[in-house]
């Protein structure tokens, strides 16, 4: 004979199951940024930077692309969620390497997933470099951000 389950127990059981399913995310390993594309063969050919104020910068200079690649390789990512609408970002990068296209934003959204950066200093260095690149042609770019 079965006893009916009280509604309060159902709620507790549901919360427990949701928490247990969410616990699997804590085991996500930290990956180098360029693991998303094959890091051995990943070589940027072009990068389009779209700043939060709508301005764009297309970069094809190999020295600059090499510096961005180096900065990206220093970032380790830990997946924490999925991408919202991208509002409020300093910039978005659209990068091309052969047939591989990667979209990355300053809010650490990469190909429609959100990540945390480790170490945080690597992400800050990338942000500062991208903003500095943008301020060369647009001196008044993102005026609320202090110059570095």
Mind listing the pLDDT tens digit of every residue in the chain (148 residues)? 444 444 433 433 333 333 333 344 444 566 666 554 445 556 788 999 999 889 999 999 999 998 998 888 888 888 887 655 445 678 888 888 888 778 888 877 777 778 888 888 988 999 999 999 999 999 999 888 777 6
Cα 6 to Cα 126: distance, rounded to the nearest angstrom: 54
Position 134 scores a pLDDT of 95
Position 24 scores a pLDDT of 43
Bridge partners of residue 91, in order along the sequence: 51
The answer to whether the CB of 25 falls within 8 A of the CB of 82 is: no
Strand order in the sheet with 76-82: 31-32, 76-82, 113-118, 109-110, 100-105, 91-97, 46-51, 56-59
Could you give all domains of the chain from N- to C-terminal order, each with its CATH number? 28-135 (3.30.1490)
147 to each of 21, 117, 144, how far by Cα in Å?
A: 44, 22, 9
The answer to whether the CB of 116 falls within 8 A of the CB of 80 is: yes
Bridge partners of residue 117, in order along the sequence: 77
CA 86 remoteness from chain centre? 10
pTM, rounded to two decimals: 0.68
């Amino acid at each position: 004979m079965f006893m009916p389950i009280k509604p309060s127990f159902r709620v507790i059981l549901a919360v427990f199951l949701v928490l247990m399913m969410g616990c699997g995310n804590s085991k996500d390993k930290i990956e180098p940024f360029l693991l998303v594309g094959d890091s051995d063969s990943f070589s940027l050919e072009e990068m389009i930077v779209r700043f939060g104020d709508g301005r764009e910068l297309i970069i094809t200079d190999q020295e600059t692309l090499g510096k961005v690649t180096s900065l990206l390789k220093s970032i380790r990512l830990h997946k924490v969620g999925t991408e919202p609408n991208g509002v409020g970002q300093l910039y978005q990068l659209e990068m091309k390497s052969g047939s591989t296209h990667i979209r990355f934003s300053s809010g650490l959204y990469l190909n429609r997933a959100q990540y945390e950066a480790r170490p945080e200093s690597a992400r800050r260095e990338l942000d500062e470099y991208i903003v500095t690149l943008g301020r060369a042609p647009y001196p008044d770019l993102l005026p609320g951000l202090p110059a570095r």
